[in-house]
Amino acid sequence: MKIKNICCIGAGYVGGPTMAVIAQKCPHIKVTVVDINEARINAWNDNDLTKLPVFEPGLDKIVKEARGRNLFFSTDIEKAIDEAEMIFISVNTPTKTYGKGKGMAADLKFIELCARQIAKVSKQDKIVVEKSTLPVRTASAIKNILDHTGNGVQFQILSNPEFLAEGTAVDDLLSPDRILVGGDTTQEGQNAIQALVDIYKNWVPSEKILTTNVWSSELSKLTANAFLAQRVSSINAMSEICEKTGADINEVARAIGMDSRIGPKFLKASVGFGGSCFQKDILNLVYIAKSYGLNEVADYWEQVVLINEHQKQRFSDYIVSKLYNTVSGKKITFLGWAFKKDTNDTRESAAIKIADNLLSEQAYISVFDPKVSEDRIYADLDYLNSRSSKENRELLKVNKEPYEACNNSHAIAVLTEWDEFQTYDWEKIYKQMNKPAFVFDGRGVLDIKTLEKIGFICYRIGSGTKL
């Protein structure tokens, strides 16, 4: 099948950038990204490219090139579905907050709504591509809904999980480690797989495109995220041992990372992982294991999440203990709110949990993040329901300038690894802080020795017996 029209349902962190790159690399294909969120679509269509709803380095240039040529953003979902031969589903699949599987299973209500809408609108055969991260065997549920429309339309379901890292998503899309496409083993299924492979072959070498059955593809995404998160929790678990024994976690990480069987990536001790995928996908894996009675497997993966939560808790506890066992009435500056640098995504950010802990100790918090909006920061806190929205706004202030955020502060906590933090005038910051002035580097990005010469009392995760 020759694809001329693509529709992507969902204009978020995955759908928007992925479709922008496909449109840029395949000018012969019309790509329409649709979403029920009118404000989000308006932001994608805004002439001011700094207002794109997703911040990713290089994304603005790609959108500028393709938008209006063969890349379109719309709220007319049914029209886009009707015109497309291939439909990507890229909607949110959060962890369930209700009913069976609460706190672990993926909530698939948005996926089901998409499937029902596709079934309702479609008048000719279509290929439906799972782009959202989904539990194993979700494809069978989607196909069951689509095959019972009663209108004779034939659907092929493909799994094409994304392996993007926020902050480097554009580079990941342009030069991926691999593209994974899973589909049915029937001839029709293989034809559908080939149609999607042909799209990616416009810029991805054939040897980097893997094809599997649909179940292997779905599970591969969960497994990849679980393995990466496990590395983070493993090095963080070792960081606590380093602090008690006098070892340095950076030296340990370097030593083991030189082993070719281990490698150096994802061995940076920190306040823990965040983002929309790691915790959600591991909990989903835990739920799947438990549902099959694989309790030992479930316990193993659940411990990865427990260590991550422990790391956030002990970091905030340590701030309290070093500030003479009380932060009540003291100002603490957060440098960074996003879960990682080069993104405005705050989902599951360590900063949210640490702020909540310190606010519960009656601290005052001042936040500066280069890309995260004030509304987003307050929304993150309000979602926890730990205190009223009014209290959150009284206790936490968002600053648009880092030096203002640090003024009269008792301590600074670095919670996102933004490169610009290393370039600040730290002597100026020291002069305007309360003394003694503390720095808690939760991301290992600052030159601690230089800060100590200035006069700061510095603490870094996994460094000898200091933290």
Which residues are catalytically annotated? 277
| Tokens of residue 266, six digits | 């994802």
- Give the number of other CB atoms < 10 A from CB of residue 341: 19
Helix, strand, coil percentages (3-state) for the chain, rounded to 5, are 45, 15, 40
Contact 45, 215 (CB under 8 A): no
Sequence-ordered list of residues with C-beta below 8 angstroms from that of 440, at least 6 positions apart, any chain: 315, 318, 319, 322, 411, 412, 413, 414, 459
User: What does DSSP assign to residue 36?
Assistant: S
Rounded CA-CA distance 312/20 in Å is: 35
Q: With contact defined as beta carbons under 8 Å apart, do 350 and 339 qualify?
A: yes
The phi, psi pair for 5, rounded to 5°, reads -135, 130
Q: How far is 131 from 152, CA to CA, in rounded Å?
A: 25
Residue 1, C-beta contacts closer than 8 angstroms, at least 6 positions apart: 85, 127, 191, 192, 195
Classify burial at 400, counting beta carbons within 10 Å of its beta carbon; exposed 0-12, middle 13-18, buried 19 or more.
Answer: exposed
Could you give the CA distance from residue 447 to residue 442 in angstroms, rounded to a whole number?
Answer: 13
The widest CA-to-CA distance across the chain, in whole angstroms, is: 75
Q: Where are the alpha helices (DSSP H) in 102-167?
A: 109-121, 138-146
E strand spans, 336-441: 364-368, 396-398, 411-414, 438-441
Spatial separation of the C-alpha atoms in residues 300 and 295, rounded to whole Å: 9
